Amino acid sequence: MSNKVIALLIGLSILTLSACTTIKETRVHQTSDALKSVRPTQRSTQRQTKNDGHSNLGVKKKQVEVVQAEIKSNRPDDNSRDIVKALGTTPEGFRWVLFRGVALMRPISWHEYSLGNTYCSSIESVPDNGKFETGVTVQVLRNIRKKTKVSPTQAAILILKGEQKKENTKLLMNSHKYDDIETLVYRYRNAPKGMEPIIVHQYFQINEKEDFINIITFETTEAKWDTYWNNQGKIILGKIAAIPYFE
């Protein structure tokens, strides 16, 4: 496998991962302009500062306007109500959200943010703060084989390898097969020197036939993990569906 393909795959994952989730470290990849993205989140803003000492949050007004328009389009309409009905009722305080072929439950009180192939719902507002500490992210990678000549399974492995850094400690990993979808769960503790440790729980949906990967990531600080995982994370990750989506 060429370095160019590997860089493209990692770039694709960074493009989606970086829109909302907390950065684990500064990553520099030689990829095309289309794959470059600003990571408007807690750990990136600690590293991406201007000379005057103020954080460069990377969230522009026009982006926020686009985000608000996209969020409205994600709400159940006449064409998606049947899907929501089929998914069933949600626990009190949660609602279904549909995003580019992924359906999941989110806390009603949490903020929403969407940019390109990435959606996130978090306690903190990303447009207002440029980051979040506790939240869930949906990342959608489609037409992987067509774009990179690498299978979705191979791509998922490469993405996971990119997370295996010295400051990351694996806590949990398992996989299952459901019809055409292979699922993979990977949880790790991220503790770069001088930063507050966080726990990251990733859930991969890998479909070779339809050539896509969905990555759902729940994360928060280690100190708050038990509280938010037990009250929100388990519900969010407890029922995630891959639904029909046409671009």
In this structure, the number of other CB atoms found within 10 A of the CB of residue 149 comes to 12
From 117, 163, 159, select the one nearest 138 (Cα to Cα): 117
Task: Tell me what pLDDT residue 29 has.
Answer: 25
210-222 burial by CB neighbour count: b if 16+ within 10 A, else e?
A: ebbbbbbbbbbee
- Partner residues linked to 210 by β-bridges: none
Superfamily of domain 3-242: Mog1/PsbP, alpha/beta/alpha sandwich (3.40.1000.10)
In this structure, the number of other CB atoms found within 10 A of the CB of residue 58 comes to 18
Task: Tell me what pLDDT residue 75 has.
Answer: 52
What pTM was computed for the model? 0.73
Task: Tell me what pLDDT residue 48 has.
Answer: 29
Task: Tell me what pLDDT residue 163 has.
Answer: 83
68-80 burial by CB neighbour count: b if 16+ within 10 A, else e?
A: eebbeeeebeeee
Question: Order of strands across the sheet with 212-221?
Answer: 111-115, 118-122, 135-142, 212-221, 198-207, 181-190, 168-178
Task: Tell me what pLDDT residue 181 has.
Answer: 92
Task: Tell me what pLDDT residue 11 has.
Answer: 46
- Partner residues linked to 199 by β-bridges: 189, 220
d(CA 9, CA 100): 20
In sequence order, what are the residues at sequence separation of 6 or more whose Cβ sits closer than 8 angstroms to the Cβ of residue 86?
none
**pLDDT tens digits for the chain (247 residues)?**
444 444 444 444 444 444 444 333 222 222 222 222 323 344 433 322 223 322 223 334 344 444 444 444 455 454 677 888 888 999 999 999 999 999 999 999 999 999 889 999 999 999 898 889 999 999 999 999 999 899 999 999 999 888 888 899 999 999 999 888 999 999 999 999 999 999 999 999 999 999 999 999 999 999 999 999 999 999 999 999 988 876 6
Task: Tell me what pLDDT residue 52 has.
Answer: 30
Q: Where do the structural domains in the chain lie, given as residue ranges?
A: 3-242
Would you list the DSSP string of 230-243? IIIIHHHHH--EE-
Task: Tell me what pLDDT residue 85 has.
Answer: 85
Task: Tell me what pLDDT residue 86 has.
Answer: 86
